[in-house]
């Protein structure tokens, strides 16, 4: 009874009795579960997550799926994908579907990918499947596309080239979600790691989505690996196929990762590089 009265008179005691999650993440090798738990906790103080990947792997979209599942059940989630905005209606239809093999085939059909870089992959569709499952559980989740319409070659040239046009457009799409999402929502965006680049050695770094959204204090997660495979077309004349990563560093144990927190980043931005034991190619649906 005395304890009950104390909680009534001093409600802060109730909050103090619930341990806060630990957002500290140390550099170096550690269990994947420990790194994931720390990232989950870090995200609770960020409203924007940028995940920059090597396209065409299973592991990077899988990591993002784990992070989104780990967020509090009442937190709204908005997931942006580096797909053309013209695909939004097809994405909505697939998101509302049952996610069957037929639904996947319908979604993947008719899309003219001039360069198969691994974005249209089974792993990306599996990520949408994860959000569909969260939606069935009553979670407030939505998926949006980010790659802008480019216009004429003259328009693109005048705007500084296709990369700059893409990064301006993706940053704008993410900013619109931040502006219109419910209070406390997490906006997460999956894109190629070039578009989320940081560091003085990176070309035209100020054009990257990370720098364009630095005022929103993003958490940037950059999965990488020196071993394994990815699925892509690596040259204009080649066919899309499984590509091998030719790293020479020792392979990590299966359930370990190496975390590195770069310091040369925009003010207010947190960047976590996550080196995984291996990547696995995720082909076209």
Q: Which backbone phi and psi does 245 adopt, to 5 degrees? A: -85, 125
pLDDT at 114: 60
* Residue 93 located in a structural domain: yes
In a domain, 282, yes or no: no
Q: What is the pLDDT of residue 70?
A: 93
Share of the chain above pLDDT 70, in %: 91
CA dihedral 195, 197, 203, 208 (to 10 degrees): 50
Question: Quick check: is 20 in a domain?
Answer: no
Q: Is the pLDDT of residue 14 over 60?
A: no
β partners of residue 78? 142, 187
Q: How many domains does the chain contain in total?
A: 1
The CATH number given to whatever domain includes residue 199 is 3.40.50
For residue 3, tell me if it sits in a domain: no
State the DSSP code for 76.
Answer: -
**CA-based nearest residue to 136, from 176, 87, 164, 99:** 99
Question: What pTM was estimated for this model as a whole?
Answer: 0.90
pLDDT at 18: 36
Question: Does 2 map to a domain?
Answer: no
Q: Tens digits of per-residue pLDDT, 110-120?
A: 665 666 789 98
Q: Is the pLDDT of residue 239 over 90?
A: no
Structural domain contains residue 280: no
Name the residue range of residue 86's domain. 32-275
In a domain, 222, yes or no: yes
C-beta separation of 195 from 215 below 8 A: no
Q: What is the pLDDT of residue 284?
A: 84
Please check whether residue 157 lies inside any domain of the structure. Answer: yes
Between 242 and 5, where is the model more confident? 242
- pLDDT value of position 115: 67
Count the Cβ atoms, other than its own, within 10 Å of residue 12: 8
What angle, rounded to 10 degrees, do the helices at 88-96 and 101-108 form? 180
* 3 or 124, higher pLDDT: 124
């Amino acid at each position: 009874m005395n304890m009950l009265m104390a909680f009534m008179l001093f409600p802060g005691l109730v909050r103090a009795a619930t341990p806060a999650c630990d957002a500290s993440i140390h550099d170096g090798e550690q269990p994947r579960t420990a790194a994931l738990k720390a990232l989950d906790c870090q995200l609770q103080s960020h409203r924007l997550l940028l995940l920059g990947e090597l396209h065409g792997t299973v592991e990077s979209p899988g990591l993002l799926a784990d992070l989104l599942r780990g967020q509090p059940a009442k937190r709204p989630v908005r997931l942006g994908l580096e797909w053309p905005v013209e695909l939004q209606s097809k994405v909505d239809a697939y998101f509302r579907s049952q996610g069957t093999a037929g639904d996947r085939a319908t979604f993947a059909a008719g899309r003219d990918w001039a360069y198969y870089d691994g974005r249209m992959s089974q792993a990306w569709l599996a990520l949408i499947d994860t959000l569909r499952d969260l939606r069935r559980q009553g979670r407030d989740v939505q998926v949006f596309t980010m790659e802008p319409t480019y216009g004429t070659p003259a328009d693109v040239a005048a705007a500084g080239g296709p990369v700059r046009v893409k990064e301006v457009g993706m940053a704008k799409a993410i900013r619109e979600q931040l502006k219109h999402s419910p209070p406390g929502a997490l906006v997460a965006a999956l894109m190629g790691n070039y578009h989320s680049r940081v560091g003085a050695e990176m070309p035209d770094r100020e054009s990257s989505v990370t720098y364009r959204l630095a005022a929103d204090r993003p958490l940037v997660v950059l999965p990488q690996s020196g071993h394994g495979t990815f699925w892509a077309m690596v040259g204009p004349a080649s066919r899309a196929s499984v590509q091998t990563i030719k790293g020479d560093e020792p392979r990590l144990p299966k359930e370990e990762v190496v975390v590195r927190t770069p310091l040369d980043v925009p003010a207010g931005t947190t960047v976590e590089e996550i080196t995984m034991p291996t990547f696995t190619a995720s082909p076209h649906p």
